[in-house]
Amino acid sequence: MRKVFILTGKFISDIIDFFYPPFRRYFSLQFFRYGVSGAGNMVFDWLLYSFVYNVVLQKQMLNLGLVTLSSPIAALFITFPITLFTGFLLQKYVTFTASEMRGHKQLVRYMLVVALNLVINYTGLKILNGVLGLWPLASKMIITVITTLFSYFSQKKFTFRIKNAPDKK
């Protein structure tokens, strides 16, 4: 299975790299790959979130017996594990391929960063949607911008760190 991930990551990297030359002056290849693969995963997250919120939950509360979740929060918790997995694979096999840290250690660190992002997402949805009354998907998009910036620096410096690597643009 690892070989499939490596080959798929290489294929995706080659596609992203094809569009890189005009941006070479402004971004490192790694940052460009992060941006494109992250944006792809972000759009996938938005589409999946919208589908779960509108079609699966039909904008209804989700009663779990002991607790009832609002549909925006329930959609977040349903889509989260899926985009966690796709995001990790993209970062490991497309963006931060030079890291020699063991995969399970990367996954644990990735999950720690994502857990912080989940707290930011939950709090942000509660404030933007619950308190301010913004549309759930718009709230999710605003929060995504915040978590994306936090994630890039955390993943580069913590999750997929390269020992003794020079810090480039």
Phi, psi of 134 (to 5 degrees): -70, 155
Phi, psi of 168 (to 5 degrees): -100, 165
Are 36 and 16 within 8 A, CB to CB? yes
* CA-wise closest residue to 87 among 26, 142, 9: 9
The burial of 18, by beta-carbon neighbours within 10 Å (0-12 exposed, 13-18 middle, 19 or more buried), is given as exposed
The pLDDT of residue 100: 85
Per-residue model confidence as pLDDT tens for the chain (169 residues): 889 999 999 999 999 999 999 999 998 998 899 999 989 998 999 999 999 999 999 999 999 999 999 999 999 999 989 998 999 999 999 999 988 888 889 999 999 998 998 899 899 999 999 999 999 989 988 998 888 788 888 998 999 988 765 555 4
DSSP H or E segment with residue 5: helix 2-18
CA gap 21, 10 in Å, rounded: 18
pTM for the full predicted model: 0.76
Using DSSP's 3-state secondary structure scheme, residue 56 falls into helix
CA gap 17, 91 in Å, rounded: 15
The pLDDT of residue 166: 55
The pLDDT of residue 169: 47
